[in-house]
Structure formats: structure tokens, C-alpha cells
């Protein structure tokens, strides 16, 4: 008290720099316990004042994922303790986001990406990793009706994705992505954003030289029997030096790698993503995967939503027929099933053991 009252030669915040307390550079729990004690009934007997103090402290603690909660009571007064905050946008520092704030909108997309990961939605999380986010007036698409939230100034969030990724955004995936984005945008005060739109990115026009015809002729002579058009850097996912046609294919690949480790050495198998193959009476085909083991082979196709069309189903059936004539079975996986690695692994394990005659 001498240094604070009589001499008044200590700063108001001296307790945070005094090494005896370890508040500035000690373990986090020391600081958290100290903050909780500030609202303890023995220190602050006024319950309402303690509640206001806790509310102010929780605002400061929220970005780091902590909060003070009531755990016990002493003589009818709450005793607070530090706990991990419930997952959600409350942990995010609020941003003032303008319509053209590209950098802040990228942070919003990153926060939505993080929320999807916390909820275990690896499929949706992977799909938005290569996207960009923008805001635009909804153009009157959402017409006002009683009890809706439409105004003349409403916006839509526009997620621009690579053309090859656009078919992966099924209504279910789009709904899951919008749920995360909506929560983040609302936290940052953009309640005027009322919907999500998926847009295909437009590839830039290539730069060509005056001798482009000669180069094109040379390119036609080059073999292209792997990854028919997919290349890393063009928006396609890649891993282990291999390129895949979609996030769903990458998810299937990761499950196959797990199974490679799980299978005994005598039943080892190889995974060939996107190999080119010439089949009898057909054009060159590129299955999503060929798996080889035990002197046998099996084709795995990961079917996106575009495979549901009548013409595409007929083409798939024709392709499977040609593989059967070669003595090779085809396993077809719907892309949405790739978002559940556990059931996908169980199914692939069963089918590979049967088709490769592995034990």
C-alpha cells in the first residue's frame, strides 16, 4: 500500500510486470486464474459489478478461445473460472467489411474454412480452399414477400471456383458452405448478405508467340497418356506429386493409401490415378483410378453429380462393359460418399479384397 498510496511511485498496471506474479510471461492458466479471482466474491462482493467485469473480460478473452463461466457459488454469489469457449464465430475479432474489401473477405473465407474443419466437413472445406469470395448486390433476384429478410440493399456472397470444381458443389455441399459463411458474415455485421452463389472462374487468355502453329504441331506429337488434362497449378488438387480431377478423388486416394498400409505385405497393391488406356472399339479412356494387386486389377470411378444424366449413365455403362471384357471390374463411388472416410474405407476394403482376391 505504501507504494500505491503514500508514495504513489508504482504504475497502475504494476502487477502485470512484477515477475513474482508471472502474469505477463508465465503459463496461461496463471493469468486466467488471476482474472477469475478479480470477480471472486471475496474480492468483489457486488454481484452485479462482478458480472459487468466478467462480461468485459470475456470480450477480451474470446479471440483466444477462452471465457469466464460460473462454476460454483459462495453465499449465493457466483464463483467464476476460466473455460474453453464454445466453438463458433464469437472467437473471431469483428471486422468492418466493405463491399470491395478483398483482403478482409479472404479472412472471412478462411474463418469459414476453419469452421467447416471444426465440424468435420473435410469435403466442403477442401472445395473452398481454392476459391475466392466477393460480395455483390443480389440484383433483385430475391423479391420481397411478407416476413422475409429482403431489402433493396441485400447482397449475395459469390464464391468463384475453378471450372472443374463447380460440379462438386451439390445443393447439400452449397448449403453446408453457406451455413459457415453466413455465421461468419453475420458476426462481422454483414447481415445484409442473404444468399450464396457459385461462379465458375474464367481462365485468362493464354499468351502465344508468332510461331504458335509450329509449337501446336509439336505438342500433338507428344504423348499425353496420364492425367488427361489435369495439372497441378490449374486448380486441381494434388498430393504425393500426383494430380486429381476433384476433391472427391483426392479423398478416395487418401483412403486407398490407408488401405495400402493396412493390407498385409502379401496383398500389397499399387494405385494409379488417371492413367490413359486404349480400350477395344472405344476412344482412349482415363479411369479415375486403376488399382493393381495379386496379379489382378480393378477400376475405381468417382462419379460427380454430372454422372446422373441419362446420356452420361449410358456412357458409363458402356465403359464398364469394355473393362469387363478385359476381365477388370469397376467400382463406382458417388462423390458425396467421399465425405465419409470411415464408411468409404469399409466399402473399398470389402470390394478390393473381393476383386483382387486378397485375404
Q: Which one is predicted more confidently, 117 or 18? A: 117
Report pLDDT for 77. Answer: 83
Asked whether the predicted pLDDT for residue 159 surpasses 50, the reply is yes
Average pLDDT for residues 103-124, to the nearest whole number?
Answer: 88
What percent of the chain stands above pLDDT 90? 27
Asked whether the predicted pLDDT for residue 282 surpasses 70, the reply is no
Report pLDDT for 349. Answer: 94
Rounded Cα distance between 46 and 8, Å, is 27
Question: What domains, with CATH codes, occur in the chain?
Answer: 2-86 (no CATH), 92-200 (3.30.300), 212-355 (3.40.1350.10)
| Measured CA distances, 271 to 123, 194, 251, 345 (Å) | 21, 44, 13, 15
Which range is most confident: 9-13, 104-108, 220-224, 312-316? Answer: 104-108
Report pLDDT for 251. Answer: 92
- 29-88: per-residue pLDDT in tens? 888 888 888 889 898 888 888 888 888 887 777 767 788 888 788 888 888 888 877 655
Where are the strands (E) in the chain, listed by range? 66-74, 77-84, 132-137, 155-161, 193-200, 238-239, 242-243, 269-273, 277-278, 284-285, 289-293, 296-303, 329-334
Residue 111's nearest CA partner among 157, 80, 167 is 157
DSSP state of 180: H
Cell of 187: 458476426
- 166-188: per-residue pLDDT in tens? 888 989 899 999 999 998 898 88
* pLDDT bucket at 222, cuts 50 / 70 / 90: very low
The answer to whether 331 and 301 have CB atoms below 8 angstroms apart is yes
**Global pTM?**
0.50
Average pLDDT for residues 272-280, to the nearest whole number?
Answer: 85
Report pLDDT for 154. Answer: 83
Rounded Cα distance between 258 and 341, Å, is 10
Asked whether the predicted pLDDT for residue 150 surpasses 70, the reply is no
What string of DSSP letters covers 103-132?
Answer: HHHHHHHHHHHHHHHHTT-HHHHHHHTT-E
Find the helix or strand (DSSP H, E) in which 269 lies.
strand 269-273
Report pLDDT for 224. Answer: 45
SS3 (DSSP) at 353: helix
- 297-313: per-residue pLDDT in tens? 999 999 877 655 566 67
Rounded Cα distance between 234 and 278, Å, is 26
Average pLDDT for residues 120-147, to the nearest whole number?
Answer: 77
Which range is most confident: 92-101, 138-147, 273-282, 295-304? Answer: 295-304
Amino acid at each position: 500500500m505504501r507504494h500505491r498510496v503514500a508514495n504513489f511511485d508504482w504504475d497502475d498496471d504494476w502487477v502485470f510486470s512484477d515477475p513474482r506474479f508471472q502474469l505477463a510471461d508465465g503459463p496461461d492458466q496463471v493469468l486466467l486464474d488471476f482474472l477469475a479471482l478479480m470477480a471472486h466474491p471475496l474480492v468483489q462482493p457486488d454481484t452485479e459489478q462482478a458480472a459487468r467485469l466478467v462480461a468485459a473480460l470475456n470480450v477480451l478473452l474470446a479471440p483466444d478461445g477462452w471465457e469466464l463461466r460460473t462454476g460454483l457459488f459462495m453465499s449465493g454469489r457466483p464463483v467464476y473460472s476460466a473455460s474453453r469457449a464454445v466453438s463458433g464465430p464469437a472467437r473471431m475479432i469483428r471486422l468492418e467489411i466493405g463491399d470491395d474489401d478483398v483482403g478482409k473477405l479472404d479472412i472471412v473465407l478462411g474463418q469459414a474454412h476453419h469452421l467447416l474443419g471444426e465440424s468435420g466437413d473435410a469435403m466442403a472445406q477442401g472445395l473452398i480452399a481454392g476459391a475466392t469470395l466477393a460480395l455483390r448486390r443480389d440484383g433483385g433476384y430475391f423479391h420481397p414477400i411478407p416476413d422475409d429478410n429482403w431489402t433493396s440493399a441485400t447482397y449475395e456472397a459469390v464464391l468463384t471456383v475453378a471450372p472443374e470444381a463447380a460440379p462438386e458443389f451439390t445443393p447439400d455441399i452449397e448449403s453446408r458452405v453457406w451455413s459457415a459463411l453466413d455465421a461468419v458474415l453475420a458476426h462481422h455485421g454483414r447481415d445484409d448478405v442473404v444468399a450464396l452463389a457459385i461462379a465458375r472462374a474464367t481462365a485468362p487468355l493464354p499468351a502465344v508467340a508468332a510461331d504458335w502453329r509450329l509449337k501446336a504441331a509439336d505438342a500433338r506429337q507428344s504423348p499425353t497418356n496420364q492425367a488427361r488434362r489435369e495439372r497441378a497449378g490449374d486448380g486441381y488438387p494434388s498430393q504425393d506429386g500426383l494430380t486429381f480431377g476433384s476433391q472427391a478423388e483426392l479423398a478416395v486416394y487418401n483412403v486407398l493409401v490407408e488401405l495400402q498400409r493396412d493390407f498385409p505385405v502379401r496383398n500389397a497393391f499399387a494405385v494409379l490415378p488417371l492413367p490413359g488406356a486404349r480400350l477395344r472399339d472405344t476412344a482412349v479412356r482415363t479411369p479415375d483410378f486403376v488399382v493393381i494387386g495379386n496379379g489382378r486389377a480393378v477400376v475405381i470411378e468417382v462419379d460427380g453429380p454430372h454422372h446422373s444424366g441419362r446420356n452420361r449413365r449410358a456412357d458409363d455403362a458402356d465403359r464398364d462393359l469394355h473393362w469387363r471384357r478385359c476381365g477388370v471390374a469397376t467400382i463406382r463411388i458417388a462423390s458425396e460418399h467421399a465425405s465419409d472416410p470411415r464408411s468409404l474405407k469399409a466399402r473399398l476394403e470389402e470390394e478390393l479384397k473381393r476383386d483382387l482376391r486378397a485375404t
